[in-house]
Structure 1
Amino acid sequence: MSWDIRALGLLQAEPPTPLIDFPVRAAGIRLLLKDESAQPTGSLRHRHARALFRQAVLDGLLAEGTTVVEATGGNAAVSQAWYARRLGLPYIAIMPGTRADGRARPVEELGGECRFVTPPVAIYDAARQVEGHFLDQFGRAAEHDLAAELFAQVRPDWVVVGAGTGATSATLGRWRRDHAGGPRVAVADPENSAYFPGWTLDAPDYATGMPSRIEGIGRPRMEPGFRPDLVDLVIPVPDAASVAAARHIREVTGLPVGGSSGTALWAALELVERMRERGESGTVVSVLGDAHERHLATCHDDGWAAAKGLDERPHGERLGRISSAGG
């Protein structure tokens, strides 16, 4: 049996992640959370990692002993380290800034190596200089299997997701294009990100030059993996609203989600409100990107929010009016 066949056997899809009913004050409208925190590595990045490794194997870019390299500081590194370990491959994550044990430890526990680089923008050049295969999640943005799995579970009218590499929105949009009657796709975009203005202005080279404060989503430029032609709507979301919505998800479900899940929920509730005002009925799915105890020290912490200048209270009051869990 060849290495390639064994590798592809290890890269089969995991069991479907669950859908969670989320309460809203809108008759005839159902809001569901697609809980990607149930992935083996705890985030939506698990799907993208599998797709990147699978494509690299099919393209002949990986062989036994090949060092796998990525430039990333978040969930992607954990998911990629998990797959590298399953394939018996060395893995190096080039992370921005100075060493932070909270980011490095989960990767190192999976056998990966973390190298920290300053300035942060230098991580991409540093990754290309390492001998091995650079996965390049932003440059390749391989599409994954979320759409097929989700639409086997439910047939929604809208699916809402945040955008980092753009792979998830492209996956969903391509499924809609190729299947008559598929759901519309909305991207929830935080402050400082280029996706909303770039999509609105039809400017594929749009850049803000500013980093997102919401972990995992938002980019300072339009990334190659983001496909504006496969997206029906991009909804800008204030960062303070993302924080409020992340806390609201935790109140309702008990899951300590990250800010990206809050961003997607806020945008989904915007859609629910628009549907209610038009007298429409239907189903909206919001993708819950991850949930981890580390988020308790960020978007769920008042001190962290205050230090970032984020006052989530007005947005929390609005959530209480929209969600039937708000009292």
Structure 2
Amino acid sequence: MERLWVNQAIEKIEADYQRSADTHLIKLDIPCLKDIDIYLKDESTHPTGSLKHRLARSLFLYALCNGWVKQGTPIIESSSGSTAVSEAYFARLLGLPFIAVMPKTTAKKKIQQIEFYGGECHFVDHSSEIYAESQRLADELSGHYMDQFTYAERATDWRGNNNIANSIFDQMKREPHPVPSWIVMSPGTGGTSATIGRYIRYQREETKLCVVDPENSVFYDYYHSLDPSVTCCNGSKIEGIGRPRAEPSFIAGVVDHMVKVEDAASIATIYWLEQLIGRKAGPSTGTNLYGALQLATQMQQENQKGSIVTLLCDGGERYLDTYYDEVWINDNIGDIGKYQTRLERFNQTGLLD
């Protein structure tokens, strides 16, 4: 009976995947760039509204096939929001109880979405506390701690099989510059950058991977020092990315270049993007896109041609009371005017300086 339930659970997840089309690749209209094209892989169109839908599906399949999750197993996850929303969706699909352990500062809309899918939210004061508290709850409830920060890089088939990297390269085939010069990604678990970087190497593509890290995150420092003990006492203010420790799923060896992006730049960029495409995006998209614009500037200065692909990780509707609220921005991020001016100059010159 136990094996039958697992078989049926996997069948439900696979059927859910079969009902979903791939996400769109949006080409940005940026006249100031000459022979350099920038694309957004729009992950907000997944059923749960974010890039993390892919991860949650992979994590559930990985746990089921490893024998860690059985009928009635409580699922516990440490998350800043989007992964928990997606895991709550899959837990409901399989009829499993779900608890998300997250910082108290998580966006209200994400909390509401987790609860909409039948999940429960368990709050901690600081993002560094989510790991131990998740394991404690799993032990107490005889449940399974999904642990996205450890298993994200290994739960996805990075060689192909419709992963996000495979999808990007397939969708780029008919574009003017079909092999991207750069793919730009920000790390939360590090799993997506690991998948993209490994795929690039496995397929022997000339594309380079740039990882962009927000303030109050240690990935950038870890990339340069390779010191796994590096930590940060403050939590990232760009929800969904940046971590106070070097997560096991972040694989520095697949990254070609890393840059630090100031939080004010990330927020200014989502406002700039809204003017460009008429849609709101989440703050991590701002981090990604600002890094892509920096690379485009460098390519333009060096008279290079090519394409850059980055990710629209989730929609901005989840953040109306935070990143799209002027008072909240002033209190938590500060003045973004400098970067808004810089982006306005970029519109005229194609140079982000």
- Do Structure 1 and Structure 2 share a fold, with TM-score over 0.5? yes
Structure 1 residues 101 and 54, CA gap change in structure 2 (3 angstroms)? same
- Contact 1:214–1:239 under 8 Å retained in 2: yes
Q: Does structure 2 conserve the Cα–Cα contact (< 8 Å) formed by 1:209 and 1:221? A: no
Return the letter of the residue paired with 1:18.
H
In the alignment, which residue of structure 2 is the partner of 1:279? 303
Q: Distance in 2 between matches of 1:120 and 1:221?
A: 10
Which amino acid is 2:33 matched to? A
Q: 1:6 aligns with which of 8, 24, 28?
A: 8
CA distance in 1: counterparts of 2:35 and 2:66, whole angstroms: 47
State the AA in 2 paired with 1:139: T
**TM-score, normalised to structure 1's length?**
0.93
**Offset from partner CA, 1:232-290 (integer Å, 9 cap, x none):** 11111011000100111122122221111000000000010111111111110111111
Q: Larger deviation: 266-275 or 290-299?
A: 290-299
Task: Structure 2: state its 5+ residue gaps.
Answer: 157-162, 173-178
Two-structure CA RMSD over aligned residues (Å): 2.1
1:174 aligns with 2:218: no
Once residues 238 and 333 of structure 2 are traced to their aligned partners in structure 1, the CA distance between those partners, rounded to angstroms, is 13
The letter of the residue matching 1:244 is A
Contact in 1 for aligned 2:81/2:111 (Cα 8 Å): no
- Displacement, 1:108? 1.2
Structure 1 match to 2:69:
62
Alignment-derived partner of residue 91 in structure 2: 84
1:153 equivalent in alignment to 2:159: no
SS of 1:70's equivalent in the other structure is: strand
Q: Assess, with a 3 A threshold, how the Cα gap between structure 1 residues 161 and 101 changes in structure 2: closer, same or farther.
A: closer
Q: In structure 2, what is the Cα distance between the partners aligned to 1:71 and 1:170?
A: 20
2:291 is aligned with 1:267: yes
- 1:134 to 2:145 alignment: yes
CA offset digits 1:107-158 (Å, max 9, x no partner): 1111111222345533322221222010011122245321111111113221
What corresponds to 1:35 in structure 2?
42
Distance 1:8 1:40 in 2: 18
Amino acid at match of 1:251: Q
3-state secondary structure, aligned to 1:50: helix
Task: Give the Å deviation of 1:324.
Answer: 6.5
Structure 2 counterpart of 1:44, from 40, 51, 58: 51
Please say if residues 160 and 286 of structure 1, whose CA atoms lie closer than 8 Å, have aligned partners that are also in contact.
yes
Counterpart of 1:19 (choices 25, 50, 68) is 25
TM-score (norm 2): 0.87
**1:317 and 2:313 are equivalent in the alignment:** no
SS at match of 2:318: helix
Shift of 1:185: 0.9
Q: SS at the partner of 2:311?
A: strand
Q: 1:237 to 1:141 in 2, by over 3 A?
A: same
Q: Secondary structure at the match of 1:114?
A: strand
CA distance in 2, matches of 1:300, 1:219: 23
Number of positions where the alignment pairs a residue of Structure 1 with one of Structure 2: 326
2:175: which partner in 1? Answer: none
Asked whether the 8 Å contact 2:266–2:290 carries over to 1, the reply is yes
Give 3-state SS (helix, strand or coil) of 1:247's partner: helix
Pair 1:21–1:64, CA change in 2 (3 A): same
Unaligned runs of 5+ in 1: none
- Report if the CA contact (8 A) 1:99-1:116 is conserved: no
Residue 211 of structure 1: aligned partner: 235
Deviations 1:177-227 (A, max 9, x none): 101125211111111111112112233332222211111111111111000
Q: 1:57 to 1:304 in 2, by over 3 A?
A: same
Which residue matches 1:236? Answer: 260
CA distance in 1, matches of 2:292, 2:106: 36
